[in-house]
Chain A
Amino acid sequence: MKGFSAQNLILWVVLATLVALLALQVQRSEASLGQPTAITGYLLIAIILALALFNMRKRLSMVPLGRASTWLLFHGMAGVLAIAVYWLHTGTLWPLGLYEQAIAVLFYLVSVTGIVGYVMQRIYPARLTHTGLEVIYERIPAELARLRTRAEEIVVACTNETTSDTLARHYFESFAWYFRRPRFTVSYLFGGNRGMHWVRHQRITVGRYLNDTERGFLDELTELSYTKTRLDMHYAMQSAMKAWLLLHVPLSAALVLLSLWHMILVHIYAL
């Protein structure tokens, strides 16, 4: 789904045509006193189950079932199709009836989280690459700890060498907080770079009270902090790209169940 290749464009056009044809068929069916909600309902549940199959496919890479990228393309297209078919099915943006409203809430949440997730996955990877740094998510705490240790070494070395504790005191007031854990996560999520600004600001804040030797250590510390900034960016964006699934997957499980129940109820009461 990355990039608008000609092949993808053709698929989208085909999808749009299908939706148009379906809408037309629904309209005609309504005009001839048919029950298009039954058809769109079955179609919708089939699409939802097909969408849910993607989760299974991700666990089944050991058998040749087609590329996951193809599956993702179809997952995304089926998701858009599902939204269109959902609206054809309900005929309205917000249904009456408590169960139906619950399904609507779940459906919209799943769709929105899916779209947000897709957008994130298109934007963040390049940003991560542009930090100039690569780190595996599970190793971030270790890297952070290493940076923190090194920062403390610098400060200790500065104090030892210059017998002045200015930098050390400032460290405990500011950088210690900074190195304790990843910071400015929200800023990085939205493409900002608050961390760099903060570090630069610290440099200015304490610089005027230091002599040249201390400033040398401050420079080292600042460089380290910039590295930590990039590490924080990785933490922020990689966390986001993992955490959105914590909403998307459980919500869709709930949606599948509730939709099946809806189908059962409709059959019992109305069909």
Chain B
Amino acid sequence: MATVAMMARPQRWDAPLSPDMTDDDVADLLRRNPIAKIKSDKFPEHTPLEGILRNDTRIVAHRAGDIVVRSGDYGNSAFIVLEGRLRVVIAPDLPADLLGRQDVAKKGFFEALAQLWTNRRVPEVRDVRRYDRTGVREGRDKAQSVVFLQDVPVVLEKHQTAVLAEGALFGELAALGRIPRTATVFAETDAKLLEIRWQGLREIRKYDEGFRRAIDERYRENALKVALRETPEFGHLDEDALQEVANSVLFETHGSFDWYITYQKMRGAGKQGAAHEPVIAREGDYPDGVLMVRAGFARVSIKMGNGDRTVAYLGAGKHFGMSELFDSWRSQGTEPLQASLTALGYVDLLRVPAPILEKYVFPTLTERPRSPVEIARNRTLSDDALLEWAVDGRFINGTKTMLIDLERCVRCDDCVRACSSTHGGNPRFIRHGRTFDHWMVANACMHCADPVCMIGCPTGAIHRTEQGGMVVINDATCIGCGTCANSCPYDNIRLVEIRDLDGNLLLDRDTQRPIQKATKCDLCATNPGGPACVRACPHDALRRVDFDTEEVFRGASS
């Protein structure tokens, strides 16, 4: 990397979603609804609609019974039904095992105790007899493997479903809005779908008004009001007022959906900090509305010296610009923004216009909202150094970050031993990681608020449990493609070669290569009592922290 060489600048469509899209496919698509309704002349020269269709979409064939999307999964694609009939499950949702997820059944006390002598010395032993029940069909490319329902009529009988016919668009909320899939969709008959990845979706939405309106309408209807009702600012409003608010709110997304890829590259090149992040609002500009973060993280920073000082970070539910707008309203003047707002990875915002605030919010406030900059004035650079580092390392994403106090840790590895004792003798984290002052963030899954590892899992083996909200991997359905391991920006997922009960490596019949499975910390989901590592540390050095609530890292955030 240090050498200087000539190379062509990377292009947007250097890596198409599928190399198999032909011009004929594109032409065919342009004739179908709803694509036919899109006005292609609105698209700029450098991103023509045909280009989008060719590079950001692909045609996916499903057999009857295949599960297309699972409720709760994170996804980065939307789908349009081209042929066939699909069903979306309304109620009750399909059981976990049908979806290819594992049943998180906690062991009883004595079963957990029995691990003391039943754990194996040989690493990563699996009882392959457990694997046979799953319905996983592997594709030619591992990433195209899919879970299928073995008995569709029974499912139709037991669960209330709705039909998705030709031309139906679904999955765009998850792709654009970074929320989990709201429902499970499976193919009732053999079907052909057009899968549009989020990049293409964003472009289409950007340039085609009809599409945008359609998507936004659906979002406003289905998700926005619910989200607004959960905020403290608008939660008390009646239905009409809420409708008015919902109608006037603007949506914005900043940063890239798969920010982890660019993030890793940038970090490798040493480019970190607000200067390299997409700017949402600039210090000194005049705000026209408050920005409310709906998903993702944003950095609040002010210029200091030759750099930018992070004052706070905002996660879901936090807002930016409230104090400046309030002061403007009070003084009937215009107050500029005291700080800049940049996107940490991917951030989804709502912009609530000032008139709405003046009508519904400000009159109800009893005291003036303080801006994080004001709070930061009383803090020194040393006070916030830890915060800077954590934000740069994107550790703010974690809800269960493993934090080790190096001044207490005696390096005894009792935590690793405890972890391995709850996982059949196999540890699920490594006691090394980035350090700052006397803190170490160890390589253990942080169970992120924004779990980028889950994006792209072909079988949904990596999923979020309903009970605890922890991110776990279903060993049975994992096909070892490595998508999650490569996605994780913190290197917290590892692939292991599994062995049978006699200790021999299990080899794939076809390729003669060892079968691998993805593994990571699962917060001891199947063990009683919660994470064993925390229990095991004799010096209280190890904690699983949520950065949002951890005082040490809050900095000036309120």
Contact = CB atoms under 8 A, between A and B. Distances in A.
B partners with A: yes
A180 interface: no
A42 to B, nearest CB: 28
Given A64-B530, A64-B535, A126 B112 contact: no
Contacts of B113: 60, 62-63
A2 B408 contact: yes
Residue among B407, B414, B421, B422 with the most chain A CB within 10 A? B407
Interface stretch (B13-21, B56-64, B325-333, B430-438): B430-438
B31 interface: no
Contacts of B435: 134
B432 A134 contact: yes
Interface in B484-506: none
A128 B409 CA distance: 10
Given A134-B435, A136-B432, A68 B414 contact: yes
A178 B442 CA distance: 31
A67 B535 contact: yes
Nearest to A65: B535
Q: Size band of the A side of the interface?
A: 20 to 34
Interface centre among B435, B532, B539 (most CB of A within 10 A): B539
Contacts of A65: 535
A227 B536 CA distance: 32
Contacts of A17: none
Interface string A1-39: 110000000000000000000000000000000000000
A121 B408 CA distance: 8
Interface in B510-557: 527-530, 532-541
A153 to B, nearest CB: 18
A59 interface: yes
A124 interface: yes
Contacts of A59: 116, 421
Contacts of A72: 538-539
A241 B412 contact: yes
Contacts of B529: 63-64
Contacts of B109: 63
B53 interface: no
Q: Is the interface of A mostly helix, strand, loop or mixed?
A: helix
A61 interface: yes
Given A58-B536, A72-B539, A121-B539, A64 B528 contact: yes
A67 B406 contact: no
A69 interface: yes
Given A62-B112, A63-B113, A129 B406 contact: yes
Interface in A56-93: 58-69, 71-72
Interface in A228-245: 238, 241-242
B394 interface: no
Nearest to A132: B435
A51 B505 CA distance: 42
B247 interface: no
B68 interface: no
Nearest to B536: A61
A63 B422 CA distance: 9
Nearest to A2: B408
B300 interface: no
A60 B532 CA distance: 9
A136 B116 CA distance: 25
B24 to A, nearest CB: 56
B438 A129 contact: yes
Given A124-B410, A126-B438, A241-B412, A60 B116 contact: yes
Given A69-B537, A129-B407, A134 B440 contact: yes
A137 interface: yes
A86 B216 CA distance: 78
B85 interface: no
Contacts of B440: 134
A167 to B, nearest CB: 26
Interface of A: 1-2, 58-69, 71-72, 121, 124-126, 128-129, 134-137, 238, 241-242
Closest CB pairs A-B (n = 5) = A64-B529, A61-B418, A61-B536, A129-B406, A69-B540
Given A67-B534, A68-B535, 17 more contacts: A2-B539, A2-B540, A58-B536, A60-B113, A61-B418, A62-B115, A63-B112, A64-B529, A67-B540, A68-B536, A72-B539, A125-B539, A125-B541, A126-B406, A126-B438, A134-B432, A136-B411
13 contacts: A1-B539, A2-B408, A59-B421, A61-B422, A62-B113, A62-B418, A64-B528, A67-B535, A68-B535, A125-B408, A135-B432, A241-B412, A242-B412
